[in-house]
Amino acid sequence: MKRIVVAAIAAASAAAIAAAPLPSTIRIGAAETLTGDNSAYGLSIEKGLNLALDEINSSNFLGSSRIKLTILDDKADKQEGISVFNRLISDEKVCAIVGPTLSSTAFAADPVAQQAGIPVLGTSTTALGITAMGDFIFRDSLPQAAVIPGTVNDVIAKYHPKKAALLYESTNEYSKSEAEVFKGALAKAGIDLVGSESYQHGDSDFRTQLAKLAQKRPDIFVFCSLVGEAVPVLEQAREIGITQPIIGGNGFNSPVVIQNAKEASEGLIVGAAWSITSDNPKSKAFVAAFNAKYGSNPDQFAAQSYTGLWLLATAIKNAGSTDPVAIKKALGALRDIDTALGTFSFDANRDPVHHNAVLVVKNGNYVLFK
């Protein structure tokens, strides 16, 4: 008899817990690069996050609960990223983390969250192996392997190149990973890689490497750089007389590249996870709201972070809980969600599934390549 009573009490307690409302304050953290050479990405991400935060809270999407978003600067530094993650988890008591901005920082910091059992949603990390770090690691940024092959094929269809040359940063996990994916895509397409040169973070003169590559007379150039080096790489390539088509990696997707490189960026081709020209209603609404709030157009990084916070809010709503394990399960179950990035799903590896675009810089703007 006592066992029956105890079982009944336990069942009633479990039901009460399951039916418990969300807390009034839902704590979510973000680790982003807000200072330094690569802050263009993080500052754009911050704007996308704050726009989504305003919309989620003002629309009562989570009922009377409100998200409190704590955004900290990871400074594009591995140790700082680890420190920020520890602070968010231990001091801020967050139930999920967005970021970090760069893949190199993510490889250092994400294991901290994995060990603590806190879901992480990267909105700009594209390197190979990000989600392989653990089952709490997600991203809504398309991995390089999902974007680069299609970009290469579109370039081949238009320019019919036979030879390619590659320049990349050897001291950054993102750039090294991207270079390997490009090598694989070029080889699969039958393009001969006639030259490959590298540089280190902080270098400012790339003329020697570019000249060596130019001597190989490639039909196309491939550059894998973050924004800090992307601008001088483009400028110096044009300066020494490189006129062949240039394919840039994901690091070239920031409008800051166009703004600073100016004419040197004309004709630059990039694979992208999102285009401002999208006719998707959610994307159009996002662009309009971003313009209204900030007086400027969003870029891909803002679109991905905006979508990322909405995905987390949706997972929390579906889970009816701020328990990190419940959020993780709810995130993994998201399928065919209408977002600013298009119809979105997570695959079995917690990577995103949605359409991408190939863009080219024309008259100072990114437009569709085809």
**Does the pLDDT at position 3 exceed 90?**
no
Residues 133 and 152 occupy one common structural domain: no
Cα(193)–Cα(183) distance, rounded to whole angstroms?
A: 7
**Given this model, what pLDDT does residue 63 score?**
97
Residues 178 and 245 occupy one common structural domain: yes
Quick check: is 365 in a domain?
Answer: no
Quick check: is 102 in a domain?
Answer: yes
**Given this model, what pLDDT does residue 355 score?**
93
**Does the pLDDT at position 4 exceed 70?**
no
| Mean local confidence (pLDDT), 108-123 | 98
Residue 23 sits in a domain of what CATH number? 3.40.50.2300
In whole angstroms, how far apart are CA 165 and each of 110, 118, 201, 216? 33, 41, 20, 8
Upper half-sphere CA count for residue 345 (Cβ side, 13 Å): 7
Quick check: is 194 in a domain?
Answer: yes
Tokens of 343: 């119809």
For residue 364, count other CB atoms closer than 10 A to its CB. Answer: 12
At 75, give phi and psi (nearest 5°): 60, 20
* Residue that is last in its domain, among 239, 272, 305: 272
- Name the pLDDT band for 14 (thresholds 50, 70, 90): very low
H-run or E-run covering 43:
helix 39-58
* Residue that is last in its domain, among 242, 272, 302: 272
| Mean local confidence (pLDDT), 50-63 | 98
Share of the chain above pLDDT 70, in %: 95
**Given this model, what pLDDT does residue 18 score?**
46
**Given this model, what pLDDT does residue 19 score?**
47
Residues 137 and 165 occupy one common structural domain: no
**Does the pLDDT at position 340 exceed 80?**
yes
- Name the pLDDT band for 9 (thresholds 50, 70, 90): very low
Cβ 271 vs Cβ 147: under 8 Å? yes
At 195, give phi and psi (nearest 5°): -165, 145
Q: DSSP E strands: which ranges in the chain? A: 25-32, 66-73, 96-98, 120-122, 137-139, 163-169, 192-199, 220-224, 246-248, 269-272, 337-339, 342-346, 352-353, 357-362, 365-368
| Mean local confidence (pLDDT), 101-112 | 98
Residues 253 and 172 occupy one common structural domain: yes
**Given this model, what pLDDT does residue 6 score?**
38
Share of the chain above pLDDT 90, in %: 94
- Name the pLDDT band for 370 (thresholds 50, 70, 90): confident
**Pick from 93, 75, 83: nearest CA to 29:** 93
Residues 82 and 133 occupy one common structural domain: yes
Q: Specify which residues 353 forms β-bridges with.
A: 345
What pLDDT digit, counting tens, does each position of 199-240 carry? 999 999 999 999 999 999 999 999 999 999 999 999 999 999
Residues 149 and 137 occupy one common structural domain: no
For residue 341, count other CB atoms closer than 10 A to its CB. Answer: 29
Cα(223)–Cα(261) distance, rounded to whole angstroms?
A: 14
* Residue that is last in its domain, among 233, 251, 272: 272
Quick check: is 314 in a domain?
Answer: yes
Quick check: is 113 in a domain?
Answer: yes
DSSP 8-state symbol, 200: -
Quick check: is 196 in a domain?
Answer: yes
**Given this model, what pLDDT does residue 21 score?**
86
DSSP 8-state symbol, 23: P
Cβ 282 vs Cβ 339: under 8 Å? yes
Tokens of 260: 């600073």
Query: Whole-structure pTM over 0.85, yes or no?
Result: yes
Upper half-sphere CA count for residue 245 (Cβ side, 13 Å): 23
Cα(367)–Cα(346) distance, rounded to whole angstroms?
A: 27
What pLDDT digit, counting tens, does each position of 241-287 carry? 999 999 999 999 999 999 999 999 999 999 999 999 999 999 999 99
Q: Which residues contact 271 (CB under 8 A, 6 or more apart)?
A: 147, 148, 150, 151, 250, 356, 357, 358, 359
Mean pLDDT, rounded, of the chain: 94
Residues 231 and 158 occupy one common structural domain: yes
Alpha-helix residue ranges (DSSP H) falling in 59-163: 78-90, 103-116, 144-159
Residues 150 and 252 occupy one common structural domain: yes
Residues 49 and 96 occupy one common structural domain: yes
Q: Is 117 left (phi over 0), alpha (psi -120 to 50) or beta?
A: left
Quick check: is 361 in a domain?
Answer: no
**Given this model, what pLDDT does residue 13 score?**
39
Residues 264 and 284 occupy one common structural domain: no
Residues 20 and 46 occupy one common structural domain: yes
Quick check: is 285 in a domain?
Answer: yes
Upper half-sphere CA count for residue 361 (Cβ side, 13 Å): 24
Range of the domain at 326: 8-142+279-355
Residues 183 and 301 occupy one common structural domain: no
Number of structural domains in the chain = 2
**Pick from 327, 365, 318: nearest CA to 62:** 318
